[in-house]
Amino acid sequence: MLMLQIKSQLKLFQITCKQMSYLKPQNRSIFLEIMLQLLNCQLLHKLMLRLTRRLKFQKRAWKL
């Protein structure tokens, strides 16, 4: 499931980059850097959510 989300985000990133091809090279590199940072933040956030959910389930199991 996570791999599917990663692939879809990468596909969106590729499409956005193609649409921004009219930017000057300097602006294009800045834009790409920002997009990569946003992508990393989203993926880290999703991973953190999954880990906290797993920890909650483990704590419940330990209490039983």
Into how many domains does the chain fold? 1
The pTM of this model reads: 0.42
Mean pLDDT confidence for 50-55:
73
| 46, 2 contact by CB (below 8 A) | yes
d(CA 64, CA 46): 28
pLDDT over 60 at 53, yes or no: yes
5 and 46 Cβ atoms separated by less than 8 Å: yes
Q: What pLDDT, on a 0 to 100 scale, did the predictor assign at position 59?
A: 63
Question: How many residues are listed for the chain in this entry?
Answer: 64
Q: Which domain holds residue 39?
A: 1-62
CB count, 10 Å around CB of 29? 11
pLDDT higher than threshold 70 for residue 63: no
> Distance (Å, rounded) from C-alpha 44 to C-alpha 39?
9
